[in-house]
Amino acid sequence: EREFLLLQKDAPAVTVDGVHIELEANIELPEEAKLALEMGATGIGLYRSEFLFMNREQLPSEDEQYEAYSSVLKTMGNKPVTIRTLDIGSDKNLNDEATVAVNPALGLRAVRYCLAHPEMFLTQLRALLRASVHGRLRILIPMISHMHEVFAVKQYLEQAQNELMAEGYSINDNIELGAMVEIPAIAIAIEPFLKELDFVSIGTNDLIQYTLAVDRVDDEVVNLYDSVHPAVLRLIHMTIQAGDKAGKHVAVCGEMAGDVLYTRLLLGLGLKSFSMHPQHIPDIKQIVRHAHTNVLRTKVAKTLNHAIAIDLDEVNAS
Ligand code: PEP
Ligand code: MG
């Protein structure tokens, strides 16, 4: 059966009612881009750049980062490559900084950390902009909660761009900028963010953690980590609807997107772009190719309105 799924790699991810679905890959190392292509990924939906920074003595230089980002862009050709800026400080940490924050998940992590360490952030942005000439780059900012963070990021991008132009580098002028939706606040008040950004990507791993106040790495409360809690589903639904209305691309790149249990549910919530570990793409594609989005939308809308908890068996029964 595995072989059958692999043979399907070039078959389009289109539902029974003709809706095209993007199946992109999450990667942690540049080398994994090849696997993504082998599994039929239509792009890279999340390259977690922090893995370039972890478990080492010194930070990666601009040139080293440029090489890593370029290699992914070159491998993927004209397919989009979403590179997330450094997301450290909570469940992932730099070597020299064991977390001392009182509550690291609510502390100086991800974009907050980058804005507090502008040299480091500018180095990464310069490397990204330089690499942009090799393909279709999307820059993804993690843990955005405030509009002023978006403006600050844009300012650093402009600074990096001005520096590079003055130094004679060329830069792709079609780079897209997006944010992770992983803090409930931004899902609830998403419209101004969609005005300033080209796309958003929902990080369900953190979105669930922050919505339910359940630590994603604490085994003691794992039974409360509920991916299908109605509040979580409503936040995902609101984000997708607002994105559709604004004409902006919305993806899900948390673990939910690569879990066959939730594929039909996410299609029913209106999702058209899934990003996951490359190995999961063939199985998810199989489900997509048998799904009828209109039927699923009706089914899911009904339960969203009144259910205390969604009946996954009902959604997954064809
Ligand atoms: C997420 O939070 O869902 C996500 C994709 O990012 P990470 O798991 O790296 O925090
Ligand atoms: Mg996250």
| pLDDT tens-digit readout, 18-65 | 999 999 999 999 999 999 999 999 999 999 999 999 989 999 999 999
Ligand 1, atom 9, lies closest to the CA of 48
**Mean pLDDT calculated for residue range 195-203:** 98
Q: What's the gap in Å between 206 CA and the centre of ligand 2?
A: 5
Please give the torsion angle defined by the CA atoms of residues 23, 250, 174 and 196, in that order, rounded to the nearest 10 degrees. Answer: -170
Residue 209: pLDDT band (50, 70, 90) is: very high
One-letter amino acid of 152: A
Cβ-contact 87, 143 below 8 angstroms: yes
Q: How many CA atoms lie within 13 A of 227 on its CB side?
A: 18
- How much of the chain, in percent, has pLDDT values that exceed 70? 96
Atom of ligand 1 nearest to the CA of 209: 2
What value does the mean pLDDT of the chain take? 94
Give me ligand 2 centre to Cα 189, in Å.
Answer: 19
Q: Span 262-275, mean pLDDT?
A: 98
CB atoms within 10 A of CB 74: 14
How many angstroms does the Cα of residue 204 sit away from the middle of ligand 1? 7
* Residue 252 to residue 180: CA distance in whole angstroms: 9
Q: d(Cα 63, Cα 130) in Å, to the nearest integer? A: 9
Of 309 and 135, the one with more pLDDT: 135
pLDDT of 98 over the 60 cut: no
Q: Which atom of ligand 1 is nearest to the CA of 205?
A: 3
Rounded distance between C-alpha atoms, residue 289 and residue 274, angstroms: 14
Helices (H), ranges, the chain:
2-7, 32-38, 62-76, 111-116, 118-131, 147-166, 184-188, 191-196, 204-212, 230-246, 263-268, 281-290, 293-306, 312-316
Which positions are catalytic?
A: 253
251 Cβ partners below 8 Å, 6+ apart? 22, 24, 45, 82, 199, 200, 201, 202, 257, 271, 273, 274, 275
Q: Which of 84, 205, 256, 262 to mutate to test the pocket of ligand 1 (most atoms within 8 A of CB)?
A: 205
- Residues placed in the known binding site: 48, 84, 182, 205-206, 216
> What's the pLDDT at 41?
97
pLDDT for res 216: 94
pTM: 0.96
Q: Which residues are annotated as a binding site for Mg(2+)?
A: 182, 206
Pocket of ligand 1 (CB under 6 A): 46, 48, 87, 182, 203-206, 253-254
Pairwise CA distance, residues 167 & 281, whole Å: 41
Residue 5 has pLDDT above 80, yes or no: no
Non-local (6+) Cβ contacts of 97 within 8 A are none
Residue 92 pLDDT > 90, yes or no? no
Q: Is pLDDT at 101 greater than 80 in this prediction?
A: no
Whether the predicted interface score ipTM is above 0.90: yes
At residue 188, the 3 state secondary structure works out as helix
Q: Provide the residues around ligand 2 (an ion) whose CB is within 5 A.
A: 182, 203, 206
pLDDT of residue 53: 95
